[in-house]
Structure 1
Amino acid sequence: MSSKTGLLVITNPKQIGLVLSSVQQKVSKILYIQLLNALSDSASGVHTKIFSSIPKYSKEINGIYTQAARHCKHLDVRVLLSGMKHNLTKIKTQNPIDIVIFDKVFSQTEIDSFLSGKISTLTNNYKILTLNNTSEQNSEELVPEVSSEEEKRTFKHGVIGGTFDRLHIAHKLLLSELALRTDSKVTIGITDENMIQSKVLHELIQDLSTRIENVRNFISDICPDLQYDIVPISDPFGPSIVDPTMDMLIVSRETLRGGHKVNEVRDSKNLPKLYIHSVELIDEPERDPAEEVKISSSTMRMRLLGTLLKPVEINKNIPSKPYVIGLTGGIASGKSGVSHWLQELGGLIIDADKIAHGIYKCGKPCYDLLIQKFGEDIVGKDGEIDRKKLGAIVFKDRNELEKLNNTVWPEMLTEILKIVRNATEDVVVVDAAILLQAEWQHYCHEVWTTLVPKEEAVKRLVERNQLSEEQALLRIQAQPTNSSYAAAANVVFCTLWHKEYTRQQVQRAWNLLRERMCEDVLANCKNC
């Protein structure tokens, strides 16, 4: 059984990949990593050469996080700066440590001395694990440093800005550089909701308070002795262009241009320019062609597609079988494609549009009602209701649209529930763009939704439906926002990228759904 929180003590950073591959199954949640050579005094022989150079530590930290990205995807890895800052000799973590892992063999006396003298947050029932399969070759080797004197400097007040959504390895690298190179105070600007609209899958970005708390938790954990000011920012610059005490700015290589812009603004205000330290971010080790080359929040959000984002609430008002998925999404969001793949996987698809077409037909209850409410002009030459003519009326006037909905939706629901009751398949998918507006989610066990950016939806409507951009926008504005769809959904898909990427999302969602259904069956058996 794995431990919740572990501390990995590294004597040889060159072996970190091998070590992480050995320990990643031993810890389930947080893995702290301490470079033993950073601690400032020996502990009964548990000691190696001390590196005092910031560029050297910076290189080691980068190497550790690079290997963590490959070997510890499920873990929250945190490289502690204990000993790299303020000559700390004691490891202090916010989370109690359940297991201490050494990457080489020490005597029991050395281990006991280290645990009692160097760690202040051990649990009562902590475990010790010693790895004896790693090589000590080159463990004492010092890499020649060619860094400039500027690179070795530290600063009084460092600053960084970003979205910091779902704190990941790249964020941790940037924040570690900030803490490592700052002596007194750091300011961290976190973009507010008004600043995220252009981000990929911004609908899935964590709320501002969560992002602030995650950054605070990490930065105060890895280096607790600095003063931290974590603030929301509503523009690209935040306090970096007004605070005269700031003297250093951390940026990624990709955002270096923005750093120079900060200095241009500061110069125009007669403020001293900031030293800009750019960080090379880590490559994504296993990327799909649709994903970014570097580890990023965008890729993290893309990998959430098809997973369970919101817990499933038990609805006792509907039968447990068949299991009903409400599939919804905005116009031109790719819902039909997702529905097709779900049908191939074994789901029974109920197409709400086809149900609607059926109840519009001559002789059906809604036919006469719609003519009474919207006039004879909506009838085509074939005697049937012309949906384009009806659409031209209702999409221009919300009152007319509401009139249509109140007429048609109850009849549609009656037909849908009849099909659900008679289904022989164990999973039924109700494919309905109006699912949320009609409040049909109350008849479903889960809600799944498809999203695409508004610009992409407009493009598709213009090309597919031969609508003008104005007509396309009117249709999009008549429905819920993408954020509303995402907030109501248990599972989200996005069809913006190549078809295979969408298919992978659907397959992932189906597999996880099957696992949930099996768990429910087992739980019910236990209760029998």
Structure 2
Amino acid sequence: MAVFQSGLLVLTTPLASLAPRLAPILTSAARLVNHTLYVHLQPGMSLEGPAQPQSSPVQATFEVLDFIAHLYAGANFHRHLDVRILLTNIQTKSAFLPPLSSSVQNLAHPPEVVLTDFQTLDGSKLLPELLQPYAERVEHLSEFLVDIKPSLTFDVIPLLDPYGPAGSDPSLEFLVVSEETYRGGMAANRFRLENDLEELALYQIQLVKDESHEQHEEEKVSSSNSRQRLLGKLLRPPNKRPELPSGLYVIGLTGISGSGKSSIAQRLKGLGAFVIDSDHLGHRAYAPSGPAYQPVVEAFGTDILHKDGIINRKILGSRVFGNKKQMKILTDIVWPVIAKLAREEMDLAVAEGKDVCVIDAAMLLEAGWQNMVHEVWTVVIPETEAVRRIVERDGLSEAAAQSRLQSQMSGQQLVDQSHVVLSTLWEPHVTQLQVEKAWNLLQKRIAKTPQAHD
């Protein structure tokens, strides 16, 4: 439920990469603002420094004008929002109009909250799929507080709005903040004054530096560093699969579209794994001589065929996409066929003397193939990054990319059923180190399993 009547959204991302992120940005804004959303376009503005950022002129190029039209079109999905793009700093390229030395936007109704698309490395929360459940965090915090001072009286209250009790509880006297959250404390005080409450004394504490942080991690001791260090580690006990080929340890590798799953598979192949590509098996299944060809043609008709008799997967895809009944008919035919082909590939892996087999499959869990692997490994990235990659890689529109993701299980749903989590969010060498860490830990686990000695 939105908590502010009006808001100002400052867009700082360069236009070329902003479009794929626009829909989730507007969705986030719509959760906070329930009526008027002012939008200030300032691509390239830096919000990282301590100084107050200054507005600067933006030339009204065709790219800017197209983006404004795109923004209004996207805002149409949020009918409760009255979106108003501020044009004071948008300047024409006319030689007859001198640039404004300073631009002041006088708003009839000043916004109650300022939002931005600015992202640090973690966006909002880094690797949110690995966040400890709220109930567990409360339990551990309560245990800690009781240990350090048994006589301490405390309440743990979930934050349901940007300020929480700090903005509304008249009995509070002071607020503990860090160097990073000091400005948030000041905002809470402004909010209290606007609501006839006394200001809180702000007690600032220093952040503790993490002396062992890696280059891509935060310098402070933080939960995001802890979550990064979970990548590649075993999160839950492996499955026992006595029915699988003896001496072969099978990993099911999955992830949302655009997550970099296939690149992880290739890195594992480079370390010695036998990789089964489920997409390749799908092509074999659909081929005229493949085991799924005739059942699919009988179910969907000959109009799904090219002139040469090959199944036109684009036509077939358009027939089933968004139609749950038709999709189930197709998957009931194809998924068991691909699973059978995968088991044949496992036998080939054994024949080649491999001890680790990786099934690269985006639909691993949806198809129920976790029942034929010892461990599920999931590759996660933020959805906004996945949309950007899909648009860039496949040439799809942002809407089409989001539609593809919505048809799949979310990263959180995948992680909830996974044994190991990986991420391709950082530079390639960081991903490589992460995969090597996961591989080395896997080798230690395999050495301890009974089947390793068969």
TM-score (norm 2): 0.69
2:320 corresponds to: 394
CA distance in 2 between counterparts of 1:366 and 1:312 reads 32
2:381 corresponds to: 452
1:114 corresponds to: none
1:510 corresponds to: 439
In structure 2, relative to structure 1, the CA distance for the partners of 1:381 and 1:466 (3 Å cut) is farther
Contact 2:287 2:311 in 1 (8 A): yes
- Following TM superposition, by how much is the alpha carbon of 1:300 offset from its aligned partner in structure 2, in angstroms? 1.3
1:494 aligns with 2:420: no
Task: Report the structure number with the largest CA radius of gyration.
Answer: 1
Contact 1:250 1:277 in 2 (8 A): yes
Q: Deviations over 1:267-296 (max 9, x none)?
A: 122221110112221233233332223222
Q: Please give the secondary structure, in 2, of the residue aligned with 1:233.
A: coil
2:276 corresponds to: 350
Q: Please give the secondary structure, in 1, of the residue aligned with 2:357.
A: strand
CA distance in 2 between counterparts of 1:467 and 1:321 reads 43
Report 1 or 2 for greater relative contact order, CA contacts < 8 Å, sequence distance ≥ 6: 2
Q: Deviations over 1:117-143 (max 9, x none)?
A: xxxxxxxxxxxxxxxxxxxxxxxxxxx
1:184 corresponds to: none
Query: What letter is aligned with 1:471?
Result: A
Q: Please give the secondary structure, in 2, of the residue aligned with 1:276.
A: strand
Q: Deviations over 1:382-437 (max 9, x none)?
A: 54222233223322322222222111111111111111123220111111111101
Q: How does 1:369-448 map to 2 (within 5 A)?
A: 369-423=295-349, 424-448=353-377
Contact 2:239 2:373 in 1 (8 A): no
CA distance in 1 between counterparts of 2:304 and 2:438 reads 41
2:75 corresponds to: none
2:238 corresponds to: 312
- Following TM superposition, by how much is the alpha carbon of 1:468 offset from its aligned partner in structure 2, in angstroms? 1.1
Query: What letter is aligned with 1:305?
Result: L
Q: Of the candidates 243, 267, 275, which is equivalent to residue 341 of structure 1? A: 267
Q: Deviations over 1:353-398 (max 9, x none)?
A: 0000011112223223222323334323554222233223322322
Q: How does 1:36-51 map to 2 (within 5 A)?
A: none
Q: How does 1:37-76 map to 2 (within 5 A)?
A: none
Q: Of the candidates 147, 150, 161, which is equivalent to residue 224 of structure 1? A: 150
Structure 2 gap ranges (5+): 1-121
CA distance in 2 between counterparts of 1:330 and 1:320 reads 31
In structure 2, relative to structure 1, the CA distance for the partners of 1:524 and 1:477 (3 Å cut) is closer
Contact 1:329 1:450 in 2 (8 A): yes
CA distance in 1 between counterparts of 2:160 and 2:442 reads 39
In structure 2, relative to structure 1, the CA distance for the partners of 1:324 and 1:469 (3 Å cut) is same
1:366 corresponds to: 292
- Following TM superposition, by how much is the alpha carbon of 1:490 offset from its aligned partner in structure 2, in angstroms? 0.3
Q: Of the candidates 202, 207, 218, which is equivalent to residue 292 of structure 1? A: 218
Q: Please give the secondary structure, in 2, of the residue aligned with 1:230.
A: coil
CA distance in 2 between counterparts of 1:412 and 1:371 reads 17
CA distance in 2 between counterparts of 1:476 and 1:511 reads 32
In structure 2, relative to structure 1, the CA distance for the partners of 1:384 and 1:402 (3 Å cut) is same
Q: Please give the secondary structure, in 2, of the residue aligned with 1:471.
A: helix
Contact 1:395 1:475 in 2 (8 A): no
1:77 corresponds to: none
Query: What letter is aligned with 2:417?
Result: A
CA distance in 2 between counterparts of 1:197 and 1:376 reads 48
CA distance in 2 between counterparts of 1:385 and 1:253 reads 61
Query: What letter is aligned with 2:196?
Result: N
2:12 corresponds to: none
Q: Of the candidates 195, 214, 229, which is equivalent to residue 269 of structure 1? A: 195
Q: Of the candidates 393, 402, 415, which is equivalent to residue 464 of structure 1? A: 393
- How many residues were matched structurally? 330
1:245 aligns with 2:171: yes
Q: Of the candidates 238, 257, 263, which is equivalent to residue 331 of structure 1? A: 257
CA distance in 2 between counterparts of 1:478 and 1:321 reads 36
Query: What letter is aligned with 2:293?
Result: Y
Contact 2:145 2:152 in 1 (8 A): no
CA distance in 2 between counterparts of 1:372 and 1:524 reads 45
1:209 aligns with 2:135: yes
Query: What letter is aligned with 1:430?
Result: I
In structure 2, relative to structure 1, the CA distance for the partners of 1:456 and 1:524 (3 Å cut) is closer
Deviates more, 1:360-369 or 1:203-212: 360-369
CA distance in 1 between counterparts of 2:153 and 2:440 reads 46
- Following TM superposition, by how much is the alpha carbon of 1:307 offset from its aligned partner in structure 2, in angstroms? 0.7
Q: Please give the secondary structure, in 1, of the residue aligned with 2:292.
A: helix
Query: What letter is aligned with 2:419?
Result: N
CA distance in 1 between counterparts of 2:307 and 2:389 reads 29
CA distance in 2 between counterparts of 1:365 and 1:435 reads 20
Q: Percent identity?
A: 41
Q: Deviations over 1:234-287 (max 9, x none)?
A: 222222222222111011111111111111121122221110112221233233
1:257 corresponds to: 183
Query: What letter is aligned with 1:337?
Result: S
- Following TM superposition, by how much is the alpha carbon of 1:470 offset from its aligned partner in structure 2, in angstroms? 1.5
Contact 2:446 2:452 in 1 (8 A): no
Q: Please give the secondary structure, in 1, of the residue aligned with 2:209.
A: coil
Contact 1:395 1:474 in 2 (8 A): no
Contact 2:248 2:354 in 1 (8 A): yes
In structure 2, relative to structure 1, the CA distance for the partners of 1:229 and 1:294 (3 Å cut) is same
Contact 1:396 1:474 in 2 (8 A): no
CA distance in 2 between counterparts of 1:468 and 1:392 reads 16
Query: What letter is aligned with 1:243?
Result: D
Query: What letter is aligned with 1:252?
Result: S
Q: Please give the secondary structure, in 1, of the residue aligned with 2:388.
A: helix
